[in-house]
Structures are given as structure tokens and as C-alpha cells.
Structure 1
Amino acid sequence: MPYALQAPVHSDLTIKKSRFIGCVEAVPDRAAARARVAALRAEHPSATHVCWALMAGGQSAANDDGEPGGTAGRPMLEVLRHQDLEGVLATVVRYYGGTPLGAGGLVRAYTDSVAQALLKAEKVPVIRQTTLRCVLPYALEGWLRRELPAHGARLLDAAHGEGVTVHLQLPEGKAAALVARLNDATQGQVVWLDAADTDNG
């Protein structure tokens, strides 16, 4: 099961006079990650590098920001992957201390910066959401609205035509029980539309 972070966590390491300031925090997507990295650059204008790694499904990315290829962003991303984290950004701000660390030393420094921060992390399970759409008689709309909280579901929208077309969102694990409950309570009067439509929000 993937996990998200409850709150940002930080680390601060000094290796051969180079300072590595690490942070791991929750972000929803690549746009938010880029905005956060830009803010860090503004906060640390004299830093030599601001390297980052984003674990966010199809938007995952890694950036070495001028360090030798594969010595910063990719190792940071691997730490996030091994921790089974989702929707998180790891950043490491480096102030160069004058002594080269070599490729192996850089990989260790960036990996340790993220790993040290994550030792303090409070993780929460990511609950995958799914969406359901169905049409039901007008007489059952009020009953359905009262039923939703028991299944952790929320009504995204309702359109009124010949019947009421509702669009629901709920945890994946509870979808089958809600479908069964609706079918049973309405004696088959519900018409399901593209029930396989899922959303990983």
C-alpha cells in the first residue's frame, strides 16, 4: 500500500564541508513540485545545487541540477520508491564546501539526506478513490444521499432528467458494498453507467 506524508520532514548534513539540507514533503503533481523547487532557489540564492525527486504516479521525475548525471535526483527517487511513498517531493539544497566528493560520495550524500529526513516521517496510507455513476428514480434520491456517509462516499454531482443521474466518489474497497446495497434496496431500479471509470485522486 502506498503512503503519503502527514507533514514535511527535514535533515541537515555536513560532509567534507559541503552542507546538504534535505526536505521531503507532500505535493500533488509536477507543477506543485516545480513551484516548491523555485521557492527553495529563492530562499537559498547562494546554494550550488537544488536537486529534487518527485514520486507522483505518472508525473514522477528526478533532477540533478548540475551535479554529475545520476548522482543526485535518481538516487533520491529510489529512496522514495523503497519507502513506498506517493505524492511526495524530496529536495536537497547543497552548499559546496570546496572538497569534491566523487560520484559515489555524492550518491551517498543525497541518499542519506533523504533517508535521514524520512526517519522522522509520519506516514499515512493513501486510500485509492473510485467513481461510480448511476441513474435512479427521483423517489430514491433522498434515500441515497442519506446512505452515502455510511460508505465513505460523497456526491460529486446530480443531474435531473428522466431519472436522477448521480456521480459518486468513494474508497475503492467500499465500492462493491455500495453497489450491492443500492441494487438490493432499489430492487434493481438503478441503472449503472461506466462503473469501471476510476480516479486515483
Structure 2
Amino acid sequence: MPFTIAESVQFEEDIKKSRFQVIAVPVENEQAVKDFLEANKDHTTTHQCWAWKIGHDVRFNDDGEPSGTAGRPILATIEGNELTNVLVLVNRWYGGVKLGTGGLVRAYGGCAGQCLLLAEKIELIKKQKIYFECLFNEWSILQYELKQNEIEYKESYTVEGVHVNALVQVHQIEPLANKIQDLTRGREQLKIIEEPNND
């Protein structure tokens, strides 16, 4: 059962005069990772090291620390907590005392671990891409339904009506499919967009 964290959490610790600040956030995709790292660029830091895991994809960055002493230990704590869809950023302000490679591994991994202990773990709900079409006069009803259920969607208009792509939680598929069928009197069906399987 995959888990992620419910919301952003922070943790700070001073280790041998260096200040470590950890921010852990839930992320849905690589764009969310890029946006977060861009928004949290801090030029006062000595190093900004990070790691993330989304599904089977992982990345980490030592940002100038000796190879393997920062990003990898951060990633190890994410995986050790059996989390996915999580990004952990560790900011370090160097205080003049060298920690050595073992000390760095312990500091980065330890601070990341302390931060993740503060996070509320929640079950990651599988989402599915779907699409459907409807007439203009039906769209307002279906749009209301999507908004009520906090479903992400993008619509595009054609001469005949509206094309809608959406990202729904698996348990929302059947009620939405029934609603579309009822509203269009069986004319339209909800279609599931199959993802290529990377397993």
C-alpha cells in the first residue's frame, strides 16, 4: 500500500555549527518538483540538497556536497518510511566545522528522517485519467459534478460540444460514468485513458 504525506512539514537542527533546515512536501509529478525547487531557491544557503520519489521514479542531488553524502541518504529516508510522491529538500548553512563524509550522511539522512517523522502519512489514492464528450447544454451539469467532487479537469470546445479530460480517483469512475450515461441518455460513455505500464 503506497503512502505519501498529508501536507508540507519542516524541521530544523544545528549540527556542529551548521544549520540544517528540512522541508518535506507531497508532489504529484515532476513539474510540481520543479516548481517547488524553483520557488524555494535560497542563495543564502551553502547547499540545497534534495531527493524525491514519485512511483518508481527517483532523483536526488548533492548540490556540491561530496558525492553520496546528501541526496542519497535523503532518498534512503523516503524509501525507509515507505513513502512515495514526496520531495525532501535539505538546506544547509555551513558553520565552519567540517562534518566529514560519515557526519554528512548522518546529518542529511538524520534531519530528513526527523522531518518525515513529523509528517502525517496518508494512503496514496490511485488516480486514473479519463475523458468524455458532451453537448454544450449538458456541460454545466457535468462541470458542477466535477467541481463538487474536486476533480481536476481540462475542457476544450468543438463545434459539436465539449471534450473533457479529467484525473479522477478510482472510486469516482463508476458514479461519474453513470451520471454521463444518464444525462446523455446513453449517447456518451466515460472512457479510461490507459497509461503505458512501466513496471
TM-score exceeds 0.5: yes
Separation in 1 of the partners of 2:3 and 2:156?
31
Q: 1:72 aligns with which of 46, 70, 73?
A: 70
Gaps of 5+ in 1: none
TM-score by length of 2: 0.72
Counterpart of 2:188? Answer: 190
2:46 is aligned with 1:32: no
Gaps of 5+ in 2: none
Paired positions, count? 188
Secondary structure of the equivalent of 1:53?
Answer: strand
Secondary structure of the equivalent of 1:71?
Answer: coil
Query: Larger Cα Rg: Structure 1 or Structure 2?
Result: 1
For residues 97 and 158 of structure 1, do their structure 2 counterparts lie closer, same or farther at Cα, with a shift above 3 Å needed?
closer
**Cα RMSD, aligned residues only:** 3.3
Counterpart of 2:4? Answer: 3
For residues 183 and 104 of structure 1, do their structure 2 counterparts lie closer, same or farther at Cα, with a shift above 3 Å needed?
same
For residues 76 and 186 of structure 1, do their structure 2 counterparts lie closer, same or farther at Cα, with a shift above 3 Å needed?
same
Structure 2 contact 48–89 (Cα < 8 Å) conserved = no
Identity %: 26
TM-score by length of 1: 0.71
Separation in 2 of the partners of 1:3 and 1:155?
23
For residues 119 and 78 of structure 1, do their structure 2 counterparts lie closer, same or farther at Cα, with a shift above 3 Å needed?
same
Counterpart of 1:21? Answer: 20
Mapping of residues 39-54 of structure 1, within 5 Å: 39=42, 42-44=43-45, 47=46, 49-54=47-52
Bigger CA drift: 168-177 or 110-119?
168-177
For residues 71 and 163 of structure 1, do their structure 2 counterparts lie closer, same or farther at Cα, with a shift above 3 Å needed?
closer
Counterpart of 2:146? Answer: 148
For residues 82 and 177 of structure 1, do their structure 2 counterparts lie closer, same or farther at Cα, with a shift above 3 Å needed?
farther
**1:110 Cα deviation from its structure 2 partner:** 1.5
